[in-house]
Each structure stands twice: as structure tokens, then as C-alpha cells.
Amino acid sequence: MSGSSASLQPPADAVKPVRHPDAPAPGELLGAHYGACFGCGSEQPHGLHLQARAGEGVSITAEFTVQPAHQGAPGLAHGGVLATALDETLGSLNWLLRTIAVTGRLETDFVRPVPVGATLYLEAEVTAVAGRKIYSTATGRLDGPDGPVAVRADALFVEVKVDHFVEHGREAEIKAAMSDPDQTRRARAFEVNP
Ligand SMILES: CCCCCCCC/C=C\CCCCCCCC(=O)SCCNC(=O)CCNC(=O)[C@H](O)C(C)(C)COP(=O)(O)OP(=O)(O)OC[C@H]1O[C@@H](n2cnc3c(N)ncnc32)[C@H](O)[C@@H]1OP(=O)(O)O
């Protein structure tokens, strides 16, 4: 099965995404946007520790190695964990646009089982932007960047203001993020199209 639902088809007035002039250069590691992020943070012992790298245009590559803590069936990655890897990779794309956005919809195809110990080689790109809506797509491959596709996703991210996190997040974490000494992480969290 593949083919995303109608709500993931960009509308007729959608435009091509524009890479922000200050986006990290192709090949540059993005680093974690937040230390406690389950997808990319270093402070989560069982997190994915996904490492994303800027690509050409509005694209990203990322790697994630499946740990024993990520199992669903014995010896195999949990589907929700794989969806997280896709979500994190897709979410990282928005930094190349310098837009803060959250996942509105994520549609996933699980094509092949992914064993514990395997590295998932992910690539993602923004395909279109329509107002606050950002359309993107991702694949995850086994055995190398050109290996067989194991997972695929199409997504719609919706641009939000930083108030989204301030209103809905927990105060202690918000305060800690706001005083993060890492300038890049702070910028990723709080700059919108500067
Ligand atoms: C102080 C700390 C700050 C920290 C900052 C961090 C920065 C991060 C930096 C780097 C991140 C890198 C990595 C992250 C990766 C992980 C990403 C995630 O997992 S995010 C968590 C999961 N997602 C949610 O929790 C969203 C929950 N949902 C909502 O909050 C709302 O529903 C929201 C914002 C998505 C939309 O609500 P509305 O009221 O703002 O807007 P409406 O009018 O409903 O939607 C706008 C347009 O989008 C469409 N839309 C919205 N949801 C849709 C859906 N599910 N399917 C299809 N279309 C949808 C609507 O139909 C509408 O379209 P029309 O303008 O009318 O054409």
C-alpha cells in the first residue's frame, strides 16, 4: 500500500519551498534542537539519538540505529518508534525554512521489518508550502543510503508561533529551553523567519 490521502496533496496555490539563506550548509550536522527531545536529544537514554544533516535545497538526511529499547516484536523495531524517526527527520526540515512548525498529519508505510542493531538511513524533503501548511515526504532505507526502502512517510506540518509551546508546554521545561546557553538551539526554538 502506498499513496497518501487527499489532505496530504498540496493545493493548487502551493509554492515550492525556499531554503532560508542562513540554513546550514549541505553536509552540516544539525545537532539536537532540544536535549530532552525523544527523537534527537542526548539526555534521553532510550531516545532515538537521531542525527540529521542538511542536504541540498530543502532536504535532510538522517541516521538512526535501532536499540534493544526500541523493540516491538522480539528483535524488531516498534512501528511507533519508526514513525518517530520519520517525524523527527521531517520536523528537522523546517529548520532549513527557519519556520517553527508542528506535525499536523503523518502517514506512514511500513514496507520491511527493521531489526534491532540495524541503522535506518533516512532522507526527507519539503515538497510544497501553502500558507502555514508545509508538505513533506521521507523514506528510511536499510543497509545504506541506497539500500531497500523499509519505511516511508508523507506529512503535513503546520506553522505555529512560539506561543504554541508557551501556552501548551510545561513551564519548567519552557523556562529551561528559553535559557539554553546553546545559541543555535535557542534560535531553532524561538526564531521565526528572522
Ligand atoms: C519554548 C520552547 C519552544 C520549543 C520550540 C521547538 C522548536 C522545534 C524545532 C525543531 C523541531 C524539530 C523536530 C521536531 C519533530 C517532531 C515534530 C512533532 O512531533 S510536533 C508534536 C506533534 N504535533 C502536535 O502536537 C500538533 C498538535 N496540533 C495542533 O497544535 C493543531 O492542530 C495545529 C497547530 C496542527 C493546527 O491548529 P491551528 O488551529 O493552528 O490551525 P488549523 O486552522 O486547524 O490548521 C491550519 C491548516 O492546516 C490544516 N490541518 C491541520 N491539521 C491537519 C491535519 N491533521 N490533516 C490535514 N490538514 C490539517 C487545516 O485544515 C488548515 O488548513 P487551511 O488553512 O484551512 O487550508
Strands 101-110 and 119-130, how do they pair? unpaired
Q: Please state the separation of Cα 102 from the chain's center in Å.
A: 10
Is 78 within a domain? Answer: yes
Residue 97 lies in a domain: yes
Atom of ligand 1 nearest to the CA of 164: 30
Q: Considering just the CA atoms, what is the radius of gyration of the chain in Å?
A: 16
| Prediction pTM value | 0.95
Q: Is residue 131 included in any domain, yes or no?
A: yes
Q: How far is the CA of 56 from the centre of ligand 1 (A)?
A: 25
Q: Which domain holds residue 108?
A: 13-190
Within a domain: 177? yes
How many whole angstroms separate alpha carbon 137 and alpha carbon 127?
Answer: 7
Segment 68-72 long-range contacts (CB within 8 Å, at least 24 positions apart) = 68/116, 69/45, 70/46, 70/116, 71/116
Query: Atom 64, ligand 1: which residue's CA is nearest?
Result: 133
In a domain, 6, yes or no: no
133 grid coordinates: 501548511
Does residue 1 sit within a domain? no
Residue 45 alpha carbon to ligand 1 centre in Å: 27
Is 126 inside a domain boundary?
A: yes
70-117 residue pLDDT tens: 999 999 999 999 999 999 999 999 999 999 999 999 999 999 999 999
Length of the chain: 194
Tell me phi and psi for residue 52, to 5 degrees.
Answer: -110, 145
**What's the CA-to-centroid distance between 35 and ligand 1, angstroms?**
21
Mutate to test the pocket of ligand 1, among 88, 95, 102 (most ligand atoms within 8 A of CB): 102
Of 154, 128, 160, nearest to 6 (Cα)? 154
Q: In this structure, is residue 7 part of a structural domain? A: no
For position 72, which CATH number holds?
Answer: 3.10.129.10
pLDDT in tens, the chain (194 residues): 457 899 999 999 999 999 999 999 999 999 999 999 999 999 999 999 999 999 999 999 999 999 999 999 999 999 999 999 999 999 999 999 999 999 999 999 999 999 999 999 999 999 999 999 999 999 999 999 999 999 999 999 999 999 999 999 999 998 888 888 887 787 777 665 54
How close is the Cα of 102 to the center of ligand 1, in Å? 4
Closest ligand 1 atom to Cα of 11:
67
Of ligand 1's atoms, which has the minimum distance to the CA of residue 168?
30
**Cα angle, residue 20 at apex, residues 33 and 88 outer, rounded to 5°:** 30
Question: What is the interface pTM, i.e. ipTM, of the complex?
Answer: 0.95
Q: Which residue ranges have their beta carbon within 6 Å of ligand 1?
A: 7, 33, 39, 87-88, 91-92, 95, 100, 102-105, 131-133, 156, 158, 160, 162, 165-166, 174, 177-178, 188-189
Domain count, the chain: 1
Say how far apart CA 127 and CA 164 lie, in whole Å.
24
CA 194-56-9 angle, to 5 degrees, is 80
Q: Residue 77 corresponds to which cell in the numbers above?
A: 523495531
Please say whether the beta carbons of 52 and 92 come within 8 A: yes
Strands (E), 13-116: 51-54, 59-65, 101-110
